[in-house]
Amino acid sequence: MSRTGVAEPRGVLSIRSFRRLWIALSLSSLGDWLSILALTALASAITTGSGYQAQSYAVGGVLIVKMLPAVVLGPLAGAFADRFDRRMTMVIADVLRFALFVSIPLVGRLDWLFIATFLIECVTLFWIPAKEATVPNLVPKDRLERANQLSLLTTYGSAPVAAALFSVLALVSRAFFEQSQQADLALYINAVTFLISAITIFTLRDIPSRGAQHVSVPSVLKQIGEGWRFAGSTPLVRGLIIGIVGAFAAGGAVIGIAKVYVEALKGGDAAYGAVFGAVFLGMAFGMFLGPRMLRDLSRRRLFGLAIVGAGLTLVLIALIPNLVVVVFLTTLLGACAGVGWVTGYTLIGLEVEDDLRGRTFAFLQSLVRVVLLLVLAVVPLVAGVIGAHRLDIAEVTYRFDGTNAVLLIAAIVAMIFGVIAYRQMDDRRGIPLARDVVAALRGVPYAPETDSGPVTGRGMLIAFEGGEGAGKTTQARLAAIWLRDHGYDVVTTQEPGATKIGMRLRAILLDKESAGLSSRAETLLYAADRADHVATVIEPALQRGAIIITDRYIDSTLAYQGYGRNLPADEIAQINEWATGGLVADLTILLDVPSDVGLGRFASPADRIESEPQEFHERVRRGFRALAEAEPQRYLVVDARLAQADITRQIQDRVREILPDPIPMGTEDVTSTFPAITDA
């Protein structure tokens, strides 16, 4: 995997047509965030004087109406969007959004506000797939990832800008208008962003009207149903999902209640904008600083901690009714959310296999939408039912409303889900969290000594496979030296013959005197050697948290005895699964070499197997390649005819991707002061 594509951040914006689309996207995102603030503020203004409950319902209603179309009509619009001219779809959608936004303050009624908001969201459903499908047409493939990152950054980056803008507009309009009209200015400006976006896209003549690729959008509910089936299978994904749902449920409650809460704290629209902006400011801090400050803490632990932290902050927000304190705490809340988001995102990227990653993201997106919708629907109901209360304690009147209750419930939900996620994902069981955190803040990873060495969780098994003379022994040794240099506990081993019993089996297997050994007996003897190897060498080292590098493992049997000796592969696989207790290598590095080249590296055939005819070794090579093709995510296939150093580099690049997290950064400085024993 090349990392060079990421090195030039401004690369994609130098593409003129993409730059224009990006401007349009930025404006639309800005408008979208602005509209959330302006519409909720307007709904609240229209219902001022109709009582606390009516106000909660009105604000909640706006948010529900905004979410509903995506959940209910999303797939339908996705299917339709592909049939129309993309550029015109985007232009018309933007013009319609402009007109609808202008109409809201002009009509100035709550029912029209709801209807128009609903229609705007329906129109947006056509705009988004058209935009998504257009990006690959404007950006070359190698810069597509960069372009998508930029789009994402813009979508969320425009939120704090919108919040700031909203606050300023609120202050300005307070000077000129009466209260019920204060949100109007924001809505007009918002409408104009869509008009500019429409004009920008209209001038983009190089958008092809329709593309070859179909953007299919499966139904939200179907995605969720399917998602559960695979998500339940690993504790990591399970933990991530529980944590993210908890975080979004709490986040939804905060969004749904923010306007009413700020009002209860005697804050106006400007304060509302400030609270909203504080969340995003905090998020930016959290995303940027959190992982740097806690670099040495396990990401899995950090994720759960961040959510529990958000819950605790929310408790304070619910109980301290002071606007300044609330803005400050909201920044902290955002920071926790930012840390959680970035660690969760990285964990999915690093620890979820390639073919599951796309589905995990899609599943999460659908789930989050539904959760948000449910929460937004329930929040105003709960707040409304509880209503407004005053507690008179001595001389002090303490106000405790439905809003406080909702925030408190959200805080508890976040904490419970955070703890469950933490438990599911914890990769440092038995190590006290407090010590772990203190050590991480000091930059020294905490590793308690025990009888069997430091406990760092489950280790990792890397197998080197390939035919005779492929260079397995050479590369395995180099990889071990490299990893030890980086401070890892590494065990190098090989098959057959890594244990005392194994040595005796090896003698039987490779002795030319054993000519006539039946293929099945041979298979069982290799399996016996492997069973002993796993039980006495590999498993204990794995328990200790070491990285085990083995020269040959199960694949050798599948290739040599399965393909070479023509025995049924599934039966061999079963026998070996039993022998190893189902232990599979985390990564298998296949050094692929034509059999004549490999055998040519030795002066003469040394043992019984090497003496087999060339066809046998060619079948073995085909066997290895077939195994690697069947499970590409677990293999690295390297052309073993390359120079040793090139092979080493490819191996290091791949191994680096799967190293346990966090990489003990400090260790490099320590070990590099010792003279490393490297290969001549």
Ligand X SMILES: Nc1ncnc2c1ncn2[C@@H]1O[C@H](COP(=O)(O)OP(=O)(O)O)[C@@H](O)[C@H]1O
The 423-462 contact track toward ligand X, x by CB under 6 A, reads ----------------------------------------
497 binds ligand X (CB under 6 A): no
Q: With contacts defined by CB under 6 A, name the span among 118-126, 288-296, 436-444, 467-475 that binds ligand X.
A: 467-475
CB of 513 to ligand TYD, least distance (A): 15
326 binds ligand X (CB under 6 A): no
- Sole binder of ligand X in the list 538, 637, 647, 655 (CB under 6 A): 647
User: Whole-angstrom Cα distance, residue 529 to residue 617?
Assistant: 22
Q: Are 509 and 501 in contact (CB under 8 A)?
A: no
CB of 554 to ligand TYD, least distance (A): 7
Among ligand X, ligand TYD, none, residue 647 binds (CB under 5-8 Å by kind): ligand X
555 binds ligand X (CB under 6 A): no
Cross-strand pairs, 393:
396
Residues 574-603 that bind ligand X (CB under 6 A): 601
User: Whole-angstrom Cα distance, residue 427 to residue 430?
Assistant: 9
Quick one: DSSP state of residue 358? H
User: Whole-angstrom Cα distance, residue 278 to residue 578?
Assistant: 56
User: Whole-angstrom Cα distance, residue 36 to residue 29?
Assistant: 11
Tally of CA atoms within 13 A in the half-sphere of 637 that contains its CB: 15
Q: Of the candidates 188, 152, 148, which has an alpha carbon nearest to the alpha carbon of residue 169?
A: 188
- Sole binder of ligand X in the list 48, 611, 633, 644 (CB under 6 A): 644
Instruction: Output the known binding site for ATP.
Output: 466-473
- Sole binder of ligand TYD in the list 121, 184, 468, 592 (CB under 6 A): 468
Q: With contacts defined by CB under 6 A, name the span among 201-209, 329-337, 365-373, 469-477 that binds ligand X.
A: 469-477
Question: Encoding tokens for residue 481?
Answer: 């030296």
- Sole binder of ligand TYD in the list 551, 592, 599, 623 (CB under 6 A): 551
Residues 28-67 that bind ligand X (CB under 6 A): none
User: Whole-angstrom Cα distance, residue 59 to residue 50?
Assistant: 13
Cβ proximity to ligand X, 142 vs 679, nearer residue? 679
588 binds ligand TYD (CB under 6 A): no
- Sole binder of ligand TYD in the list 47, 556, 588, 595 (CB under 6 A): 556
| Cis preceding linkage at 662, omega within 30 | yes
User: Whole-angstrom Cα distance, residue 542 to residue 171?
Assistant: 62
| Cis preceding linkage at 496, omega within 30 | yes
Quick one: DSSP state of residue 546? P
User: Whole-angstrom Cα distance, residue 51 to residue 459?
Assistant: 61
- Sole binder of ligand X in the list 97, 472, 544, 617 (CB under 6 A): 472
User: Whole-angstrom Cα distance, residue 524 to residue 527?
Assistant: 5
Cβ proximity to ligand TYD, 426 vs 468, nearer residue? 468
560 binds ligand TYD (CB under 6 A): yes
Cross-strand pairs, 588:
463, 635
468 binds ligand X (CB under 6 A): yes
609 binds ligand TYD (CB under 6 A): yes
CB of 474 to ligand X, least distance (A): 3
Cβ proximity to ligand TYD, 246 vs 496, nearer residue? 496
499 binds ligand TYD (CB under 6 A): no
The residues, any chain, with a CB within 8 Å of residue 361's CB and separated by 6 or more, are 348
557 binds ligand TYD (CB under 6 A): yes
7 C-beta neighbours (distance < 10 Å), count: 9
User: Whole-angstrom Cα distance, residue 164 to residue 632?
Assistant: 48
- 460-466 and 587-592 beta bridge pairing: parallel
- Sole binder of ligand X in the list 75, 256, 267, 469 (CB under 6 A): 469
- Sole binder of ligand X in the list 89, 474, 556, 595 (CB under 6 A): 474
563 binds ligand TYD (CB under 6 A): no
Q: What SS3 string covers 379-420?
A: HHHHHHHHCCCEEEECCEEEECCHHHHHHHHHHHHHHHHHHH
Q: How big is the site for ligand TYD, counted in residues (CB under 6 A)?
A: 15
* Residues making contact with ligand X (CB under 6 A): 466, 468-474, 601, 643-644, 647
* Residues making contact with ligand TYD (CB under 6 A): 468, 472-473, 495-496, 510, 526, 551-552, 556-557, 560-561, 609-610
